[in-house]
């Protein structure tokens, strides 16, 4: 379980394609505190650490960890497009007693959505996203979404399109600095919205 508050932007340094795909991701995390089997959200995808190391070619001077990604995960997320050099939002799993500054994020991506437009909005930016109908029904104004693992508040909804504001701090500290209109992001809808919709369906 996560909060959607990004604590590091890592970088994919190696991709090994076999039965599953193994990614090596360089990070500034203290790897002595990360156990094999630990969960790390990578662009919002909950992945399991299978190996760690320090420096060398794999880390580009930083520490690194490796994760395996299945074909099922590739089919539901952007992981299939990752290559050496791809920046990745990273968040370690929530520990009991940690401050919950965002919203509860599970790392279970619901799908990939399109970035429709980006416009200046004061010092911030207004981003517009197009979600498919089966996911748009879970998105409401003033509700929460996780986009590439970042906890964000929905400002407005127009049909299947919704808008959010990205403040300069978020732009600087996440992969949003590398994104633009025409790109795609991982979407995880708010778990509460999903359960409410399910309850309504069964009545």
Quick: pLDDT tens for 98-130. Answer: 666 667 788 999 999 999 999 999 999 999 999
Are 129 and 183 found together in one domain?
yes
Count each helix (H run) and each strand (E run) in the chain, helices first: 5, 13
Give 48's contacts (C-beta < 8 A, 6+ positions apart): 37, 38, 39, 67, 68
Of 92, 123, 143, the residue that ends a domain is 92
In a domain, 104, yes or no: no
181, part of any domain: yes
Give percent above pLDDT 90 in the chain.
78
pLDDT bin (cut points 50, 70, 90) of residue 76 is very high
In a domain, 171, yes or no: yes
- Residues 78 and 118 occupy one common structural domain: no
Mean pLDDT throughout 24-39?
A: 95
CATH number of the domain where residue 140 is located: 2.40.30.20
d(CA 132, CA 134): 6
Residue 106 covered by a domain: no
**Same domain for 140 and 167:** yes
Q: How many folded domains does the chain comprise?
A: 2
Non-local (6+) Cβ contacts of 67 within 8 A are 22, 23, 25, 40, 42, 47, 48, 49, 50
Domain region containing 68: 8-92
Q: Is residue 2 part of a domain?
A: no
59, pLDDT greater than 90:
no
In a domain, 99, yes or no: no
pLDDT band at 179 (very low <50, low <70, confident <90, very high): very high
State which of 44, 65, 92 marks the end of a domain.
Answer: 92
CB 79 within 8 A of CB 32: no
CA 170 to chain centre: 13
Instruction: Determine, yes or no, domain membership for 82.
Output: yes
Summary mean pLDDT of the chain:
91
**Residue 102 belongs to some domain of the structure:** no
Same domain, yes or no, for 88 and 117? no
């Amino acid at each position: 379980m996560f909060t959607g508050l990004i604590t590091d932007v890592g970088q994919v340094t190696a991709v090994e394609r076999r039965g599953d795909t193994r990614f090596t991701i360089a990070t500034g995390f203290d790897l002595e505190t990360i156990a094999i089997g630990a969960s790390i959200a990578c662009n919002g995808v909950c992945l399991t650490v299978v190996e760690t190391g320090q420096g060398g070619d794999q880390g580009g001077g930083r520490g690194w960890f490796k994760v395996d990604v299945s074909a099922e995960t590739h089919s539901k997320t952007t992981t299939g497009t990752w290559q050496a050099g791809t920046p990745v939002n990273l968040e370690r799993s929530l520990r009991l007693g940690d401050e919950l500054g965002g919203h509860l994020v599970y790392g279970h991506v619901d799908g990939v959505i399109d970035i429709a437009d980006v416009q200046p909005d004061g010092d911030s930016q207004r981003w517009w996203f197009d979600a498919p109908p089966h996911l748009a029904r879970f998105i409401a104004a003033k509700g929460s979404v996780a986009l590439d693992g970042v906890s964000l508040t929905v400002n407005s909804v127009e049909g299947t399109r919704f808008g959010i504001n990205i403040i300069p701090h978020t732009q600087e500290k996440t992969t949003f600095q590398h994104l633009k209109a025409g790109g795609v992001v991982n979407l995880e809808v708010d778990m509460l919205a999903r359960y409410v919709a399910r309850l309504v369906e069964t009545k």
